[in-house]
Amino acid sequence: MADTSREAGEALDETELAIEGALRPSSLDEFVGQPKVRGQLQLLLQAAHMQERPADHILLAGPPGLGKTTLAMIVAHESGRPLRLSSGPAIQHAGDLAALLSSLTPGEVLFIDEIHRMARSAEEMLYLAMEDFRIDIMVGKGAGATSIPLELAPFTLVGATTRSGLLPNPLRDRFGFTGHLEFYDDDDLERVIARSANVLGVRLPDDSLSEIARRSRGTPRIANRLLRRVRDYALVHGGGAAASIADVKAALELYDVDAIGLDRLDRAVLDALVRRFRGGPVGLSTLAVAVGEEAETVESVVEPYLVRIGFLGRTPRGRIAMPEAYRHLGIVHPDGVALFDDL
Ligand SMILES: Nc1ncnc2c1ncn2[C@@H]1O[C@H](COP(=O)(O)OP(=O)(O)OP(=O)(O)O)[C@@H](O)[C@H]1O
Ligand SMILES: [Mg+2]
């Protein structure tokens, strides 16, 4: 069954989560692709190490599944410091953040996932904490309220966000460095898949490897997930430990992944845009309602890849379908232009 609800990545059950953990690279050297961000992080960590201080605060931005959490873990691992995990939705009051910050040990790496979803009051507390390693705790209410300053142990904050545009500037400015993660090209995805296949004990001929890479929407998490489905298929229907190209194609067809990696939700969005809204422009929320999804999911999970491959455009008046999208769906463009030249 193909799940169309992909908020915050995928709904993984516990075994899948454990496998995702096992597939995570634990050092910068093992981390595939993203040469820019890798180089930037390397320098930052090395300088901090030479001066025996915690590294500057780091913000990691990019679509789901590109390696933000993985990099946060690598930062802690490479600097030999403990990692504390939290997330924006878990910090709904300044008090939640105060409790978290005051319990950090010197040099600890604090990872706040989905940092754009943190409460406003906590954000303000975080500004001071990031800059001066200090917070003010409010005691009492009304006219008698006083604030008590509290010194914090120096720490490194690693924030992750799929929506860096939603972060207030004062918060964004307090990070020493922002790493923008990009979609991976097919060569990098092949390396991710080859590494994971090795860990999972799956043998993949070259053609199988490149077919999975081509259908992974530029995203390592999707590459790993498709690989696991292909492994299942080969185990049940095919040649056991080796997954032939026929196994790959059959498995991906079973899970509704099309020839360029679009899944049911991607296609539903394109279909609504092209057929129902005649190519747009249509507002994000209207489009989301048409496919029965949250606007946030459509915006942060579905759209970035469709924009990147030139299927969808974002304009001030709404979303529009680009000619490539018509071609992929096999629909004649309203201008009457024949777009079937490659059929
Ligand atoms: N550069 C990479 N090399 C190898 N594997 C990677 C890489 N980036 C990500 N992965 C794999 O992809 C999976 C998803 O990565 P990760 O959890 O870090 O994504 P994320 O950016 O935090 O996503 P989300 O926004 O949904 O939290 C991980 O299990 C990891 O194994
Ligand atoms: Mg993550």
Active-site residue, 315 included: no
pTM for the predicted model, two decimal places: 0.90
Question: Domain 264-329 carries which CATH code?
Answer: 1.10.10.10
- How far, in Å, is the centroid of ligand 2 from the Cα of 114? 8
DSSP 248-288: HHHHHHHTT--TTS--HHHHHHHHIIIIISTT--B-HHHHH
What is the bridge-based pairing of β-strands 146-151 and 134-139? antiparallel
**Cβ(192) – ligand 1 distance below 6 Å:** yes
The domain over range 186-254 is classified in CATH as 1.10.8.60? yes
Write b or e for each residue in 278-290: b if 16 or more Cβ atoms lie within 10 A of its Cβ, otherwise e.
ebbbbeeeebbeb
Mind listing the pLDDT tens digit for each residue in 218-276? 999 999 999 999 999 999 998 677 899 999 999 999 999 999 999 999 999 999 999 99
Question: What is the C-alpha to C-alpha distance for residues 4 and 212, in angstroms, rounded to an integer?
Answer: 20
Residue 15 has a pLDDT of: 74
Instruction: Using the structure block, give the residue that is written with the tokens 């790493």.
Output: 179
Give me the residue spans of the domains in the chain: 34-180, 186-254, 264-329
3-class DSSP state for residue 146? strand
Here the tokens at position 282 are 């249509």
pLDDT digits (tens, 9 = 90+) for 281-323: 999 999 999 999 999 999 999 999 999 999 999 999 999 999 9
Q: Is 20's C-beta closer than 6 angstroms to any atom of ligand 1?
A: yes
- Pick the catalytic residue from 156, 161, 162, 178: 162
CB 162 less than 6 A from any atom of ligand 1: yes
Residue 217 marked as a ligand binder: no
Which ligand lies nearest the alpha carbon of 189?
Answer: 1
- CA 7 to each of CA 172, 223, 306: distance values in angstroms, whole numbers, following the listed order: 24, 17, 17
Per the annotation, the verdict on 84 as an active-site residue is no
Dist. CA 89–CA 97, nearest whole Å:
11
Please name which of 116, 113, 123, 126 lies closest in space to residue 158, comparing C-alpha atoms. Answer: 113
Confidence of residue 18 (pLDDT cuts 50, 70, 90): confident
C-alpha to C-alpha distance for 79 and 22, rounded to whole angstroms = 20
User: pLDDT, tens digit, for every residue of 31-85?
Assistant: 999 999 999 999 999 999 999 999 999 999 999 999 999 999 999 999 999 999 9
Q: What's the rounded Cα separation, in Å, for the pair 79 and 177? A: 16
For 19, 79, 190, 234, 247, the CA distances from 15, given in Å and listed in that order, are 6, 29, 24, 19, 23
- Ligand 1, residue 23: give the atom nearest the CA: 31
Averaged pLDDT of the chain = 91
* For the CA of 73, the nearest atom of ligand 1: 18
Do the beta carbons of residue 135 and residue 129 sit within 8 Å?
Answer: yes
219 is catalytic: no
User: Which backbone phi and psi does 319 adopt, to 5 degrees?
Assistant: -85, 140
Under DSSP, the state recorded for 54 is P
Name the 3-class secondary structure at 136.
strand
* Domain with residues 34-180, CATH architecture: 3-Layer(aba) Sandwich (3.40)
Q: Quick one: pLDDT at residue 178?
A: 95
Q: 67 in ligand 1 pocket by Cβ < 6 Å?
A: yes
